[in-house]
A and B are shown apart, each in its own frame.
Chain A
């Protein structure tokens, strides 16, 4: 199925979905907070309101469904919306799009494309929900007008901050063009996540920036290309050398230091001074020798830790271990810098927006991915949020 057919089928199904949600609103069966149902109603209605030309539907049915949205439920939905989460998701989608353009394998490329598009869909669903809320406001709902004003201002801030990342999204252009083609002209003009730099001439931009493919740079891109590829040497910094001395350097830092020691006589002299200074410190230290020094080997990216699972990713802030136990597969995210680690989530390709269940164990945050027979060969996406809001996504082949 080509991207256009795929998009058309998805939005056509919104008509049936809205009809079934109408039934839910008329006689609520689900106990607890109505916000999730209200969110789905608003998104489905907004998806249709923004695609009137591509998807014919009965406006009266849609309006009668929206009229059933209760004030309390709308308020609860408005309070539950996390604009910061949306911002993080969009940023991550931009990173995932770059991975999609320059993947380790072609299989990875299509997986990254899928994940990245999910991020753009998240932004688009928010736009649809806001469109539906605005529609309610235009029908005279004051509560809707207040929620729309507040949320749309917050979302506009995100757009202002991230719209210049459109270049990052160009590897997704085929899907983006299909999505843009479904939107009414007015909605299309606002949907930068689908439209900005979506021309075919930009399709190969990121690959070319990475040194792959044919593309002649001009203007700002030519300048950036020149500045990045210009020959440069990087002196090892005070902090790197200090971490190295304490045994805390990353494999890449250690490799840089080893390379600099070989190629730069001045730096080799600094390393000699480091060793001489250490001998002086040992002579000056109290007699109790540190017997418990165990060298930490952080050098091998993929290895089996005896009885502890397979190390599949590692950063200064955390590491990710893969366990295959009793026919079940689990991923464990283990914080290494608790002051920088915030939280983690794991997703499988068959449910890209539903985080796998997790439990906190002695080994770290453990995610059960299910029976080995079901997940073997799949890819899991591990998303770790660091303090300050930065999110790091890692793809793990199961």
Chain B
């Protein structure tokens, strides 16, 4: 029987040649199903959430991520941080760990948010319908602006990571103090102030750009 490393090498080789590698990949991850369940249980214990039935779904989720991104990531991590990717199994179990954490984090966020729009279907008096429609439109518009903002922030992270990092600390992590931002990032206070200013300017320019393009494409 091939070892994990040999089987992984076979997968990499077939993948590089553009050949199908589903069979060896299936065999390899199946070997890791039991340890995956152990990792999920330990994460559940720390989170105080979840049920034994979750292990199967988390495992499937992890296989999907390993297939779509993990095979390349493993190679990259092996090159950049050798010890962190000691074996494909360890790397896969780390994906499992993160899939489980992501699942329970999202569950907590859902609970914290309460019922979403449309989930509370109790009957409304007729005279409140108009007000509800107006409120619903305002909510949709706010939600669109919210999404546009995060798209703009991701663009800032990609194009100006220094500015995005300072803005993230200052604005999203409630730091609101340039001395603290400067200390954490190892920059001067003036530099922190300027990075935050540039971040603000870029974000607003991105939003203006997107909205002006949308206006151009709107049918008359």
Within 8 A of B (CB), among A222-249: 223-225, 227-230, 232-235, 238, 241-242, 245-248
Which applies to chain B's interface (DSSP): helix, strand, loop or mixed?
helix
A273 touches B46 (CB 8 A): yes
In the complex, what residues of B have CB within 8 A of residue A232's CB?
Answer: 149, 171-172
In the complex, what residues of B have CB within 8 A of residue A351's CB?
Answer: none
A277 touches B201 (CB 8 A): no
- Nearest chain B CB to A254's CB is how many angstroms away? 9
* Residue in contact with B42 in the complex, picked from A227, A280, A292, CB distance below 8 Å: A280
User: How many residues belonging to B are interface residues under a CB distance threshold of 8 Å?
Assistant: 77
A255 touches B83 (CB 8 A): no
- Interface residue A27 (Cβ < 8 Å from any Cβ of B): no
- Nearest chain B CB to A313's CB is how many angstroms away? 9
B201 touches A102 (CB 8 A): yes
Contact (A277, B42) CB under 8 Å given A233-B174, A252-B169, A256-B168: yes
Mask of A273-314 contacts with B, CB within 8 angstroms, 1/0: 111111111001110101111101001111000000000000
- Nearest chain B CB to A267's CB is how many angstroms away? 8
In the complex, what residues of A have CB within 8 A of residue B185's CB?
Answer: 251-252, 255, 301
- Interface residue B208 (Cβ < 8 Å from any Cβ of A): yes
Contact (A280, B109) CB under 8 Å given A99-B198, A252-B185: no
B169 touches A255 (CB 8 A): yes
Segment among B10-18, B20-28, B93-101, B129-137 that sits at the interface with chain A: B93-101
Mask of A108-133 contacts with B, CB within 8 angstroms, 1/0: 00000000000000000000000000
Contact (A284, B97) CB under 8 Å given A102-B194, A102-B201, A252-B169: no
Mask of A19-55 contacts with B, CB within 8 angstroms, 1/0: 0000000000000000000000000000000000000
- Interface residue B197 (Cβ < 8 Å from any Cβ of A): yes
In the complex, what residues of B have CB within 8 A of residue A301's CB?
Answer: 185-187
In the complex, what residues of A have CB within 8 A of residue B205's CB?
Answer: 98, 165, 167-168, 206, 209
In the complex, what residues of A have CB within 8 A of residue B203's CB?
Answer: 224, 228
Mask of B90-123 contacts with A, CB within 8 angstroms, 1/0: 1001110110111011001100100000000000
Closest to A164 in B: B212
Most buried by B among A281, A315, A336, A390: A281
- Interface residue A270 (Cβ < 8 Å from any Cβ of B): yes
Mask of A132-171 contacts with B, CB within 8 angstroms, 1/0: 0000000000000000000000000000000011011000
B108 touches A290 (CB 8 A): no
In the complex, what residues of B have CB within 8 A of residue A251's CB?
Answer: 165, 185-186
Which applies to chain A's interface (DSSP): helix, strand, loop or mixed?
helix
- Interface residue B84 (Cβ < 8 Å from any Cβ of A): yes
Mask of B199-220 contacts with A, CB within 8 angstroms, 1/0: 0111111011101110000000
B97 touches A227 (CB 8 A): no
Residue pairs across A and B with Cβ atoms less than 8 A apart, 11 shown, are A211-B196, A224-B204, A228-B207, A246-B94, A248-B81, A252-B169, A256-B168, A266-B105, A269-B46, A276-B45, A278-B97
Q: Which residues of A contact B (CB under 8 A)?
A: 95, 98-99, 101-104, 164-165, 167-168, 206-207, 209-212, 220-221, 223-225, 227-230, 232-235, 238, 241-242, 245-248, 250-253, 255-256, 258-260, 263, 266-267, 269-270, 272-281, 284-286, 288, 290-294, 296, 299-302, 315-316, 336-337, 390, 392
Q: Which residues of B contact A (CB under 8 A)?
A: 35, 38-39, 41-43, 45-47, 76-77, 80-87, 89-90, 93-95, 97-98, 100-102, 104-105, 108-109, 112, 145, 148-150, 152-153, 158-162, 164-166, 168-169, 171-175, 184-187, 190-191, 194, 196-198, 200-205, 207-209, 211-213
